[in-house]
Amino acid sequence: MSNRMDEMSWSEFDARRKETDTIIVPTGAVEIYGPHLPMGADGIAALAIAERVAERTGALIAPLLPLGESSALKCYPGTITLSRETFQTLINEVFLQLIDYGFRNFLFITGHASNVDPISYYCRKYQAQYGIRCGQVDWWRFTNANGGDVFELSGYMAHGHASECGTSVMLYLRPDLVHMERAERVEPTGDAYTAYTDFVRYVPFDAKTPNAIIGDATLGTAEKGRRIVEKCVDRIVEYMRYEFKN
Percent share of the chain, pLDDT over 70: 100
Interval 34-51: pLDDT, tens: 999 999 999 999 999 999
| pTM > 0.85 | yes
204 vs 101 pLDDT, higher one: 101
CATH superfamily of 5-243: Creatininase (3.40.50.10310)
pLDDT level of residue 191 (50, 70, 90 thresholds) = confident
Cα–Cα distance measured from residue 234 to residue 246, given in angstroms and rounded to the nearest whole number:
20
- For the chain, which residues make up each domain, given as ranges? 5-243
Residue 189 has pLDDT above 80, yes or no: no
> What does the pLDDT read at residue 246?
63
